[in-house]
Amino acid sequence: MNKNQLWQLTKINLLYANPQATSKARQSGKTGRKLTFALLRQYILIGVIFVALYGVTLLGFNLAIQTAIFTKFIALFTLMLVSQNISVINNVFFESNDQGAYLPLPFDQRTIYLAKTIVVQMANLSFAIPILWVFIMTSVHADNWFVSFLIAIILFILYLSLLFLSCTFVVFGLAQTKIFRQHQKMMTLLLLAISFVAMIAAIFLINNTSQTMSANQTGLFGFNLLHRILVYPLNGSSLFFLTIILAAVVLLAVLADRWLFPQLMVEHKNNRTLRKKNKRAGNSRSMKEQLIRYNLKLLQNPTLLMQNFYMTTFPFIMLGAGALSGDGSGISFEHFSLMYFGVFFLSGIAISALSIGPYSLTALGISLDRSNLFFIQTLPISFLVYLRLKFLTMWVLQTLYLLVLTIAVGFWLHITGVNFVALLLGVIWGAYLISLIYFTRDWRLRDLEWGNVTQLFNRGGGTLVSMLVVFGGMIVFGIIISGYFYLIKYTAVSWLINSFFGLIIFASSAGVIWKYQITFWQKKLK
Protein backbone atom coordinates (compact mmCIF):
# COMPACT_ATOMS: atom_id res chain seq x y z
CA MET A 1 0.00 0.00 0.00
CA ASN A 2 1.34 3.40 -1.02
CA LYS A 3 1.36 5.55 2.14
CA ASN A 4 1.70 8.79 0.19
CA GLN A 5 -1.39 7.95 -1.87
CA LEU A 6 -3.28 7.06 1.31
CA TRP A 7 -2.41 10.40 2.91
CA GLN A 8 -3.35 12.39 -0.20
CA LEU A 9 -6.68 10.54 -0.52
CA THR A 10 -7.36 11.10 3.17
CA LYS A 11 -6.81 14.85 2.82
CA ILE A 12 -9.12 15.00 -0.20
CA ASN A 13 -11.92 13.03 1.45
CA LEU A 14 -11.62 15.07 4.64
CA LEU A 15 -13.03 17.99 2.65
CA TYR A 16 -16.26 16.03 2.02
CA ALA A 17 -16.80 14.91 5.62
CA ASN A 18 -18.23 18.26 6.69
CA PRO A 19 -18.78 20.59 3.71
CA GLN A 20 -19.81 23.44 6.00
CA ALA A 21 -16.59 23.33 8.02
CA THR A 22 -14.55 23.07 4.81
CA SER A 23 -16.29 26.08 3.26
CA LYS A 24 -15.80 28.13 6.44
CA ALA A 25 -12.08 27.27 6.63
CA ARG A 26 -11.56 28.18 2.97
CA GLN A 27 -13.30 31.51 3.46
CA SER A 28 -10.79 32.31 6.21
CA GLY A 29 -7.95 31.80 3.70
CA LYS A 30 -6.81 28.31 4.68
CA THR A 31 -5.61 25.97 1.94
CA GLY A 32 -3.58 22.78 1.62
CA ARG A 33 -1.94 21.56 4.82
CA LYS A 34 -3.39 24.41 6.90
CA LEU A 35 -6.91 23.53 5.74
CA THR A 36 -6.45 19.86 6.65
CA PHE A 37 -5.21 20.57 10.17
CA ALA A 38 -7.83 23.26 10.70
CA LEU A 39 -10.57 20.69 10.06
CA LEU A 40 -8.90 18.17 12.39
CA ARG A 41 -8.54 20.79 15.12
CA GLN A 42 -12.24 21.60 14.88
CA TYR A 43 -13.29 17.96 15.39
CA ILE A 44 -10.94 17.61 18.36
CA LEU A 45 -12.03 20.96 19.83
CA ILE A 46 -15.71 19.98 19.77
CA GLY A 47 -14.83 16.71 21.52
CA VAL A 48 -12.90 18.61 24.19
CA ILE A 49 -15.86 20.98 24.67
CA PHE A 50 -18.17 18.02 25.23
CA VAL A 51 -15.72 16.58 27.77
CA ALA A 52 -15.57 19.95 29.52
CA LEU A 53 -19.39 20.27 29.59
CA TYR A 54 -20.29 16.73 30.62
CA GLY A 55 -17.14 14.78 31.39
CA VAL A 56 -16.06 17.11 34.18
CA THR A 57 -19.33 16.42 36.00
CA LEU A 58 -18.22 12.79 36.27
CA LEU A 59 -15.11 13.61 38.27
CA GLY A 60 -17.10 13.34 41.49
CA PHE A 61 -18.34 9.82 40.66
CA ASN A 62 -16.66 6.47 41.00
CA LEU A 63 -17.74 5.00 37.68
CA ALA A 64 -16.33 1.60 38.59
CA ILE A 65 -19.26 1.08 40.97
CA GLN A 66 -21.87 3.44 39.52
CA THR A 67 -22.90 1.42 36.50
CA ALA A 68 -26.07 3.41 35.79
CA ILE A 69 -24.23 6.71 35.31
CA PHE A 70 -21.62 5.01 33.12
CA THR A 71 -24.23 3.45 30.83
CA LYS A 72 -26.27 6.67 30.54
CA PHE A 73 -23.29 8.69 29.28
CA ILE A 74 -22.01 5.96 26.98
CA ALA A 75 -25.52 5.48 25.57
CA LEU A 76 -25.91 9.23 24.99
CA PHE A 77 -22.67 9.65 23.04
CA THR A 78 -23.14 6.34 21.25
CA LEU A 79 -26.42 7.65 19.86
CA MET A 80 -24.71 10.85 18.75
CA LEU A 81 -21.90 8.79 17.24
CA VAL A 82 -24.31 6.59 15.27
CA SER A 83 -26.05 9.68 13.84
CA GLN A 84 -22.66 11.22 13.01
CA ASN A 85 -21.48 7.98 11.38
CA ILE A 86 -24.49 7.78 9.10
CA SER A 87 -24.16 11.44 8.09
CA VAL A 88 -20.41 11.33 7.40
CA ILE A 89 -20.51 7.93 5.64
CA ASN A 90 -23.17 9.34 3.33
CA ASN A 91 -21.14 12.52 2.69
CA VAL A 92 -17.79 10.78 2.12
CA PHE A 93 -18.93 7.72 0.19
CA PHE A 94 -21.94 9.04 -1.73
CA GLU A 95 -22.43 12.84 -1.67
CA SER A 96 -18.79 13.37 -2.74
CA ASN A 97 -19.59 11.72 -6.13
CA ASP A 98 -15.87 11.10 -6.67
CA GLN A 99 -15.89 7.34 -7.28
CA GLY A 100 -15.88 7.74 -11.06
CA ALA A 101 -12.86 10.05 -10.90
CA TYR A 102 -10.77 7.26 -9.34
CA LEU A 103 -11.53 4.69 -12.07
CA PRO A 104 -8.83 5.80 -14.57
CA LEU A 105 -6.27 6.60 -11.86
CA PRO A 106 -3.64 4.13 -10.54
CA PHE A 107 -5.19 3.91 -7.07
CA ASP A 108 -5.66 0.60 -5.34
CA GLN A 109 -9.33 0.12 -4.43
CA ARG A 110 -8.51 -0.79 -0.83
CA THR A 111 -6.46 2.39 -0.47
CA ILE A 112 -9.46 4.48 -1.55
CA TYR A 113 -11.78 2.81 0.95
CA LEU A 114 -9.23 2.92 3.75
CA ALA A 115 -8.75 6.66 3.20
CA LYS A 116 -12.50 7.23 3.37
CA THR A 117 -12.72 5.07 6.50
CA ILE A 118 -9.95 7.08 8.19
CA VAL A 119 -11.78 10.31 7.37
CA VAL A 120 -15.02 9.01 8.90
CA GLN A 121 -13.14 8.18 12.10
CA MET A 122 -11.55 11.64 12.12
CA ALA A 123 -14.98 13.23 11.83
CA ASN A 124 -16.18 11.00 14.68
CA LEU A 125 -13.62 12.42 17.10
CA SER A 126 -16.15 14.98 18.35
CA PHE A 127 -18.28 12.27 19.97
CA ALA A 128 -15.59 9.60 20.34
CA ILE A 129 -13.37 11.62 22.68
CA PRO A 130 -16.04 11.78 25.45
CA ILE A 131 -16.49 7.98 25.20
CA LEU A 132 -12.73 7.48 25.58
CA TRP A 133 -12.80 9.86 28.56
CA VAL A 134 -15.51 7.82 30.30
CA PHE A 135 -13.72 4.53 29.53
CA ILE A 136 -10.47 5.83 31.04
CA MET A 137 -12.20 7.32 34.11
CA THR A 138 -13.88 3.97 34.74
CA SER A 139 -10.66 2.00 34.31
CA VAL A 140 -8.62 4.12 36.74
CA HIS A 141 -11.14 3.37 39.51
CA ALA A 142 -10.97 -0.39 38.92
CA ASP A 143 -8.97 -2.63 41.26
CA ASN A 144 -6.46 -3.66 38.59
CA TRP A 145 -6.31 -0.20 37.08
CA PHE A 146 -3.28 -0.73 34.81
CA VAL A 147 -4.79 -3.73 33.02
CA SER A 148 -8.16 -1.98 32.93
CA PHE A 149 -6.52 1.06 31.34
CA LEU A 150 -4.99 -1.05 28.55
CA ILE A 151 -8.30 -2.85 28.03
CA ALA A 152 -10.05 0.56 27.89
CA ILE A 153 -7.89 1.61 24.92
CA ILE A 154 -8.45 -1.70 23.12
CA LEU A 155 -12.19 -1.66 23.84
CA PHE A 156 -12.45 1.92 22.61
CA ILE A 157 -10.88 1.04 19.25
CA LEU A 158 -13.06 -2.06 18.87
CA TYR A 159 -16.21 -0.19 19.89
CA LEU A 160 -15.66 2.62 17.36
CA SER A 161 -14.90 0.05 14.66
CA LEU A 162 -18.06 -1.92 15.46
CA LEU A 163 -20.24 1.19 15.29
CA PHE A 164 -18.66 2.33 12.02
CA LEU A 165 -18.99 -1.06 10.31
CA SER A 166 -22.58 -1.50 11.50
CA CYS A 167 -23.58 1.93 10.18
CA THR A 168 -21.71 1.25 6.94
CA PHE A 169 -23.76 -1.86 6.30
CA VAL A 170 -26.96 0.08 6.96
CA VAL A 171 -26.08 2.95 4.60
CA PHE A 172 -24.62 0.74 1.86
CA GLY A 173 -27.48 -1.72 2.14
CA LEU A 174 -29.99 1.08 1.57
CA ALA A 175 -27.90 2.59 -1.23
CA GLN A 176 -28.06 -0.62 -3.22
CA THR A 177 -31.85 -0.61 -3.40
CA LYS A 178 -33.60 0.55 -6.55
CA ILE A 179 -35.71 3.15 -4.75
CA PHE A 180 -32.57 4.80 -3.31
CA ARG A 181 -30.96 5.10 -6.76
CA GLN A 182 -34.12 6.59 -8.24
CA HIS A 183 -34.81 9.00 -5.37
CA GLN A 184 -31.36 9.56 -3.89
CA LYS A 185 -31.96 13.00 -2.38
CA MET A 186 -35.25 12.03 -0.77
CA MET A 187 -33.92 8.72 0.55
CA THR A 188 -30.75 10.36 1.87
CA LEU A 189 -32.79 12.93 3.76
CA LEU A 190 -35.09 10.20 5.07
CA LEU A 191 -32.16 8.11 6.29
CA LEU A 192 -30.52 11.05 8.07
CA ALA A 193 -33.83 12.23 9.53
CA ILE A 194 -34.75 8.77 10.86
CA SER A 195 -31.37 8.34 12.52
CA PHE A 196 -31.61 11.81 14.03
CA VAL A 197 -35.18 11.41 15.30
CA ALA A 198 -34.29 7.97 16.68
CA MET A 199 -31.40 9.53 18.57
CA ILE A 200 -33.65 12.16 20.16
CA ALA A 201 -36.32 9.59 21.04
CA ALA A 202 -33.71 7.31 22.58
CA ILE A 203 -32.33 10.14 24.73
CA PHE A 204 -35.76 10.72 26.27
CA LEU A 205 -36.28 6.97 26.64
CA ILE A 206 -32.98 6.61 28.47
CA ASN A 207 -33.95 9.43 30.82
CA ASN A 208 -37.34 7.85 31.54
CA THR A 209 -35.67 4.58 32.54
CA SER A 210 -32.96 6.25 34.62
CA GLN A 211 -34.81 6.08 37.94
CA THR A 212 -34.89 2.28 37.95
CA MET A 213 -31.26 2.09 36.81
CA SER A 214 -30.09 4.41 39.57
CA ALA A 215 -31.88 2.33 42.18
CA ASN A 216 -30.36 -1.05 41.31
CA GLN A 217 -27.19 0.08 39.46
CA THR A 218 -27.75 -2.45 36.68
CA GLY A 219 -27.45 0.14 33.93
CA LEU A 220 -28.73 -0.11 30.36
CA PHE A 221 -28.56 -3.60 28.90
CA GLY A 222 -25.66 -4.01 26.49
CA PHE A 223 -23.79 -1.00 27.76
CA ASN A 224 -23.42 -2.62 31.17
CA LEU A 225 -21.36 -5.34 29.45
CA LEU A 226 -18.86 -2.65 28.43
CA HIS A 227 -18.72 -1.58 32.07
CA ARG A 228 -18.04 -5.15 33.19
CA ILE A 229 -15.20 -5.53 30.69
CA LEU A 230 -13.54 -2.35 32.00
CA VAL A 231 -13.97 -3.04 35.72
CA TYR A 232 -13.24 -6.80 35.66
CA PRO A 233 -10.93 -7.18 32.63
CA LEU A 234 -9.53 -10.60 33.63
CA ASN A 235 -12.90 -12.13 34.53
CA GLY A 236 -13.99 -15.05 32.34
CA SER A 237 -17.26 -13.44 31.26
CA SER A 238 -15.49 -10.15 30.48
CA LEU A 239 -12.94 -11.88 28.25
CA PHE A 240 -15.79 -13.76 26.56
CA PHE A 241 -17.71 -10.53 25.79
CA LEU A 242 -14.50 -8.85 24.58
CA THR A 243 -13.83 -11.82 22.28
CA ILE A 244 -17.38 -11.58 20.89
CA ILE A 245 -16.86 -7.88 20.09
CA LEU A 246 -13.51 -8.63 18.44
CA ALA A 247 -15.00 -11.46 16.38
CA ALA A 248 -17.90 -9.24 15.27
CA VAL A 249 -15.49 -6.50 14.16
CA VAL A 250 -13.30 -8.95 12.22
CA LEU A 251 -16.32 -10.59 10.54
CA LEU A 252 -17.86 -7.26 9.51
CA ALA A 253 -14.47 -5.96 8.30
CA VAL A 254 -13.93 -9.04 6.11
CA LEU A 255 -17.47 -8.80 4.68
CA ALA A 256 -17.00 -5.09 3.99
CA ASP A 257 -13.65 -5.67 2.28
CA ARG A 258 -14.78 -8.63 0.15
CA TRP A 259 -18.36 -7.67 -0.65
CA LEU A 260 -19.56 -4.25 0.54
CA PHE A 261 -16.93 -1.74 -0.61
CA PRO A 262 -16.47 -3.23 -4.14
CA GLN A 263 -20.19 -2.60 -4.68
CA LEU A 264 -19.56 1.14 -4.48
CA MET A 265 -17.96 1.27 -7.94
CA VAL A 266 -20.77 -0.85 -9.34
CA GLU A 267 -23.33 1.52 -7.86
CA HIS A 268 -21.53 4.48 -9.43
CA LYS A 269 -21.80 2.90 -12.87
CA ASN A 270 -25.45 1.99 -12.33
CA ASN A 271 -26.37 5.46 -11.13
CA ARG A 272 -25.25 6.91 -14.46
CA THR A 273 -28.17 5.20 -16.17
CA LEU A 274 -30.78 6.10 -13.54
CA ARG A 275 -31.45 9.83 -13.91
CA LYS A 276 -34.79 11.12 -12.82
CA LYS A 277 -36.88 12.83 -15.47
CA ASN A 278 -38.11 16.28 -14.70
CA LYS A 279 -41.83 16.43 -14.08
CA ARG A 280 -44.03 19.02 -15.64
CA ALA A 281 -45.65 21.76 -13.57
CA GLY A 282 -49.38 22.26 -13.82
CA ASN A 283 -50.65 25.42 -15.41
CA SER A 284 -54.03 25.35 -13.72
CA ARG A 285 -52.70 26.40 -10.32
CA SER A 286 -52.95 29.96 -9.11
CA MET A 287 -49.85 32.15 -8.95
CA LYS A 288 -49.89 31.92 -5.14
CA GLU A 289 -49.97 28.11 -5.18
CA GLN A 290 -47.18 27.94 -7.73
CA LEU A 291 -44.99 30.26 -5.66
CA ILE A 292 -45.59 28.20 -2.53
CA ARG A 293 -44.64 25.02 -4.41
CA TYR A 294 -41.59 26.80 -5.80
CA ASN A 295 -40.45 27.80 -2.30
CA LEU A 296 -40.94 24.24 -1.06
CA LYS A 297 -38.78 22.92 -3.89
CA LEU A 298 -36.00 25.25 -2.79
CA LEU A 299 -35.75 23.16 0.38
CA GLN A 300 -35.03 19.85 -1.39
CA ASN A 301 -31.44 19.73 -0.21
CA PRO A 302 -30.47 17.04 2.36
CA THR A 303 -27.52 19.07 3.68
CA LEU A 304 -29.69 22.14 4.24
CA LEU A 305 -32.52 20.25 5.95
CA MET A 306 -30.30 18.08 8.15
CA GLN A 307 -28.26 21.07 9.29
CA ASN A 308 -31.51 22.85 10.07
CA PHE A 309 -32.90 19.81 11.91
CA TYR A 310 -29.72 19.33 13.91
CA MET A 311 -29.16 22.94 14.94
CA THR A 312 -32.86 23.47 15.70
CA THR A 313 -32.83 20.38 17.91
CA PHE A 314 -29.48 21.19 19.52
CA PRO A 315 -30.98 23.03 22.55
CA PHE A 316 -33.33 20.06 23.10
CA ILE A 317 -30.34 17.69 22.98
CA MET A 318 -28.62 19.78 25.62
CA LEU A 319 -31.77 19.57 27.76
CA GLY A 320 -31.83 15.78 27.39
CA ALA A 321 -28.12 15.51 28.10
CA GLY A 322 -28.52 17.68 31.19
CA ALA A 323 -31.33 15.45 32.41
CA LEU A 324 -29.15 12.38 31.89
CA SER A 325 -26.52 13.84 34.18
CA GLY A 326 -29.04 14.11 37.01
CA ASP A 327 -29.96 11.51 39.57
CA GLY A 328 -32.74 10.07 37.41
CA SER A 329 -35.48 11.13 39.78
CA GLY A 330 -37.38 12.76 36.90
CA ILE A 331 -38.94 16.20 36.49
CA SER A 332 -42.66 16.95 36.55
CA PHE A 333 -44.60 20.20 36.08
CA GLU A 334 -47.95 18.48 36.35
CA HIS A 335 -49.16 20.28 39.47
CA PHE A 336 -48.10 23.82 38.60
CA SER A 337 -50.99 26.28 38.98
CA LEU A 338 -52.24 28.86 36.48
CA MET A 339 -50.21 31.63 38.08
CA TYR A 340 -47.16 30.18 36.28
CA PHE A 341 -48.80 30.79 32.89
CA GLY A 342 -46.39 33.63 32.09
CA VAL A 343 -43.35 31.54 33.02
CA PHE A 344 -44.32 28.87 30.51
CA PHE A 345 -45.10 31.47 27.84
CA LEU A 346 -41.67 33.05 28.32
CA SER A 347 -40.10 29.57 28.26
CA GLY A 348 -41.72 29.00 24.87
CA ILE A 349 -40.22 32.24 23.56
CA ALA A 350 -36.84 31.13 24.93
CA ILE A 351 -37.13 27.79 23.10
CA SER A 352 -37.69 29.60 19.81
CA ALA A 353 -34.92 32.12 20.43
CA LEU A 354 -32.42 29.33 21.15
CA SER A 355 -33.55 27.03 18.33
CA ILE A 356 -33.83 29.51 15.44
CA GLY A 357 -30.60 30.88 14.04
CA PRO A 358 -28.58 31.46 10.84
CA TYR A 359 -29.34 27.86 9.78
CA SER A 360 -33.13 28.23 10.06
CA LEU A 361 -35.36 28.26 6.99
CA THR A 362 -36.37 31.89 7.45
CA ALA A 363 -32.67 32.87 7.64
CA LEU A 364 -31.94 31.23 4.26
CA GLY A 365 -35.14 31.62 2.24
CA ILE A 366 -34.26 34.72 0.22
CA SER A 367 -30.74 33.57 -0.70
CA LEU A 368 -32.04 30.18 -1.80
CA ASP A 369 -33.69 31.95 -4.75
CA ARG A 370 -30.30 32.67 -6.28
CA SER A 371 -30.67 34.50 -9.64
CA ASN A 372 -34.38 33.60 -9.72
CA LEU A 373 -34.92 36.50 -7.35
CA PHE A 374 -34.34 38.94 -10.24
CA PHE A 375 -36.80 37.03 -12.42
CA ILE A 376 -39.45 37.07 -9.68
CA GLN A 377 -39.19 40.84 -9.51
CA THR A 378 -40.43 40.94 -13.12
CA LEU A 379 -43.58 38.91 -12.39
CA PRO A 380 -46.98 40.67 -12.27
CA ILE A 381 -47.13 40.50 -8.47
CA SER A 382 -45.86 42.79 -5.76
CA PHE A 383 -42.33 41.86 -4.73
CA LEU A 384 -43.27 42.66 -1.14
CA VAL A 385 -46.20 40.23 -1.40
CA TYR A 386 -43.82 37.54 -2.68
CA LEU A 387 -41.40 38.09 0.21
CA ARG A 388 -44.27 37.99 2.69
CA LEU A 389 -45.47 34.69 1.16
CA LYS A 390 -41.94 33.27 1.32
CA PHE A 391 -41.58 34.35 4.95
CA LEU A 392 -44.90 32.79 5.98
CA THR A 393 -44.05 29.53 4.16
CA MET A 394 -40.65 29.21 5.84
CA TRP A 395 -41.98 30.35 9.23
CA VAL A 396 -44.83 27.83 9.22
CA LEU A 397 -42.49 24.93 8.38
CA GLN A 398 -39.91 25.98 10.97
CA THR A 399 -42.59 26.51 13.64
CA LEU A 400 -44.26 23.16 12.98
CA TYR A 401 -40.99 21.34 13.59
CA LEU A 402 -40.42 23.35 16.78
CA LEU A 403 -43.93 22.56 17.98
CA VAL A 404 -43.39 18.82 17.46
CA LEU A 405 -40.22 18.95 19.56
CA THR A 406 -41.89 21.11 22.22
CA ILE A 407 -44.90 18.78 22.47
CA ALA A 408 -42.52 15.85 22.99
CA VAL A 409 -40.71 17.77 25.74
CA GLY A 410 -44.06 18.81 27.26
CA PHE A 411 -45.18 15.19 27.59
CA TRP A 412 -41.78 14.21 28.97
CA LEU A 413 -41.94 16.94 31.63
CA HIS A 414 -45.64 16.26 32.34
CA ILE A 415 -46.74 19.80 31.51
CA THR A 416 -50.53 19.88 31.38
CA GLY A 417 -53.53 22.12 30.78
CA VAL A 418 -53.27 25.85 30.33
CA ASN A 419 -49.55 25.90 31.08
CA PHE A 420 -48.95 23.53 28.16
CA VAL A 421 -50.99 25.81 25.90
CA ALA A 422 -48.98 28.80 27.14
CA LEU A 423 -45.72 27.00 26.30
CA LEU A 424 -46.90 26.26 22.75
CA LEU A 425 -48.18 29.83 22.25
CA GLY A 426 -44.82 31.12 23.43
CA VAL A 427 -43.03 28.94 20.89
CA ILE A 428 -45.28 30.19 18.07
CA TRP A 429 -44.92 33.85 19.01
CA GLY A 430 -41.20 33.56 19.70
CA ALA A 431 -40.66 31.79 16.37
CA TYR A 432 -42.46 34.63 14.58
CA LEU A 433 -40.38 37.37 16.23
CA ILE A 434 -37.01 35.63 15.81
CA SER A 435 -37.87 34.66 12.23
CA LEU A 436 -38.55 38.33 11.43
CA ILE A 437 -35.06 39.19 12.65
CA TYR A 438 -33.33 36.46 10.64
CA PHE A 439 -35.42 37.04 7.51
CA THR A 440 -34.31 40.66 7.54
CA ARG A 441 -30.74 39.50 8.16
CA ASP A 442 -30.95 37.22 5.12
CA TRP A 443 -31.97 40.20 2.98
CA ARG A 444 -29.06 42.29 4.25
CA LEU A 445 -26.51 39.46 3.80
CA ARG A 446 -28.18 37.90 0.76
CA ASP A 447 -25.89 35.83 -1.43
CA LEU A 448 -27.40 34.90 -4.78
CA GLU A 449 -24.24 33.36 -6.26
CA TRP A 450 -23.41 30.66 -3.69
CA GLY A 451 -22.07 27.37 -4.98
CA ASN A 452 -22.67 25.24 -1.89
CA VAL A 453 -25.51 25.78 0.56
CA THR A 454 -23.04 25.58 3.44
CA GLN A 455 -21.72 29.00 2.37
CA LEU A 456 -25.04 30.48 3.54
CA PHE A 457 -24.60 28.98 7.02
CA ASN A 458 -21.26 30.71 7.43
CA ARG A 459 -22.49 34.27 6.95
CA GLY A 460 -22.09 36.41 10.04
CA GLY A 461 -19.84 34.09 12.04
CA GLY A 462 -20.91 30.55 11.13
CA THR A 463 -21.82 27.57 13.27
CA LEU A 464 -19.27 28.19 16.06
CA VAL A 465 -20.70 31.65 16.77
CA SER A 466 -24.21 30.19 16.61
CA MET A 467 -23.34 27.54 19.20
CA LEU A 468 -21.77 30.15 21.47
CA VAL A 469 -24.95 32.24 21.14
CA VAL A 470 -27.02 29.19 22.08
CA PHE A 471 -24.91 28.48 25.17
CA GLY A 472 -24.94 32.14 26.17
CA GLY A 473 -28.69 32.34 25.55
CA MET A 474 -29.25 29.29 27.75
CA ILE A 475 -27.49 31.04 30.60
CA VAL A 476 -29.32 34.36 30.13
CA PHE A 477 -32.77 32.83 29.68
CA GLY A 478 -32.06 30.40 32.51
CA ILE A 479 -31.40 33.31 34.88
CA ILE A 480 -34.44 35.32 33.72
CA ILE A 481 -36.91 32.41 33.79
CA SER A 482 -35.59 31.17 37.15
CA GLY A 483 -35.94 34.65 38.61
CA TYR A 484 -39.48 34.92 37.21
CA PHE A 485 -40.36 31.52 38.67
CA TYR A 486 -39.01 32.18 42.15
CA LEU A 487 -40.56 35.65 42.33
CA ILE A 488 -43.99 34.09 41.76
CA LYS A 489 -43.31 31.17 44.09
CA TYR A 490 -42.06 33.16 47.07
CA THR A 491 -44.13 36.37 46.84
CA ALA A 492 -47.83 36.97 47.41
CA VAL A 493 -48.26 39.31 44.43
CA SER A 494 -48.06 36.90 41.52
CA TRP A 495 -50.49 39.03 39.49
CA LEU A 496 -48.13 42.00 39.78
CA ILE A 497 -45.09 39.93 38.76
CA ASN A 498 -46.98 38.48 35.78
CA SER A 499 -48.14 41.95 34.75
CA PHE A 500 -44.58 43.28 34.93
CA PHE A 501 -43.11 40.50 32.80
CA GLY A 502 -46.13 40.72 30.48
CA LEU A 503 -45.39 44.39 29.83
CA ILE A 504 -41.73 43.60 29.12
CA ILE A 505 -42.70 40.87 26.64
CA PHE A 506 -45.25 43.17 25.00
CA ALA A 507 -42.78 46.07 24.70
CA SER A 508 -40.02 43.83 23.35
CA SER A 509 -42.39 42.28 20.81
CA ALA A 510 -43.62 45.69 19.69
CA GLY A 511 -40.02 46.84 19.23
CA VAL A 512 -39.12 43.80 17.10
CA ILE A 513 -42.25 44.17 14.93
CA TRP A 514 -41.71 47.90 14.47
CA LYS A 515 -38.04 47.54 13.51
CA TYR A 516 -38.01 44.30 11.52
CA GLN A 517 -41.49 44.22 10.01
CA ILE A 518 -42.99 47.69 9.72
CA THR A 519 -39.92 49.92 9.37
CA PHE A 520 -37.69 47.66 7.31
CA TRP A 521 -40.12 45.99 4.92
CA GLN A 522 -42.74 48.70 4.59
CA LYS A 523 -40.31 51.60 4.13
CA LYS A 524 -37.14 50.17 2.59
CA LEU A 525 -38.76 47.98 -0.05
CA LYS A 526 -41.54 50.33 -1.15
Q: 51-55, 215-219, 290-294, 297-301: which range is least confident on average?
A: 215-219
CA quadruple 167, 171, 177, 179: dihedral, nearest 10: 130
| pLDDT tens by residue, 326-346 | 544 456 677 788 888 899 999
- Look at residue 172 in the predicted model and tell me its pLDDT: 80
Measured between alpha carbons, how far is residue 336 from residues 186, 245, 409, 500 in Å? 43, 48, 16, 20
- Write the CB contacts of 519 (distance below 8 Å, at least 6 apart in sequence): none
Distance CA 462, CA 441 (A): 14
What would the mean pLDDT of 183-194 be, rounded to a whole number?
Answer: 67
Contact 227, 138 (CB under 8 A): yes
- Look at residue 350 in the predicted model and tell me its pLDDT: 93
Q: Which of 119-128, 159-168, 217-226, 314-323 has the highest mean pLDDT?
A: 159-168
Amino acid code (one letter) for 299: L
- Look at residue 201 in the predicted model and tell me its pLDDT: 62
| pLDDT tens by residue, 13-22 | 777 666 666 7
| pLDDT tens by residue, 67-77 | 888 888 888 78
Distance CA 160, CA 118 (A): 12
- Of residues 426 and 125, more confidence is placed in 426
- Write the CB contacts of 391 (distance below 8 Å, at least 6 apart in sequence): 362, 365, 435, 436, 439
Q: Measuring CA to CA, which residue among 196, 9, 3, 8 is closest to residue 90?
A: 196
- Look at residue 352 in the predicted model and tell me its pLDDT: 92
- Look at residue 396 in the predicted model and tell me its pLDDT: 93
**263 has a pLDDT exceeding 70:** no
For the chain, the maximum distance between any two Cα atoms, rounded to a whole number of angstroms, is 80
- Look at residue 1 in the predicted model and tell me its pLDDT: 59
- Write the CB contacts of 462 (distance below 8 Å, at least 6 apart in sequence): 20, 24, 358
- Look at residue 348 in the predicted model and tell me its pLDDT: 93
Q: 20-24, 112-116, 255-259, 338-342: which range is least confident on average?
A: 20-24
Distance CA 459, CA 471 (A): 19
Q: Report the first-to-last Cα separation within the chain, whole angstroms.
A: 65
The helix or strand, by DSSP H or E, that contains position 456, with its residue range, turns out to be helix 454-457
CB burial class (10 A; 0-12, 13-18, 19+) of residue 61?
middle
- Look at residue 279 in the predicted model and tell me its pLDDT: 44
What would the mean pLDDT of 103-130 be, rounded to a whole number?
Answer: 78
Contact 223, 71 (CB under 8 A): yes
Q: Helix axis angle, 32-50 relative to 19-27, nearest 10°?
A: 120
Distance CA 147, CA 141 (A): 12
Domain ranges within the chain, ordered by starting residue:
3-271, 287-524
**427 has a pLDDT exceeding 60:** yes
Neighbours of 32 (CB within 10 A): 8
Q: What percent of the chain is predicted at pLDDT more than 90?
A: 17
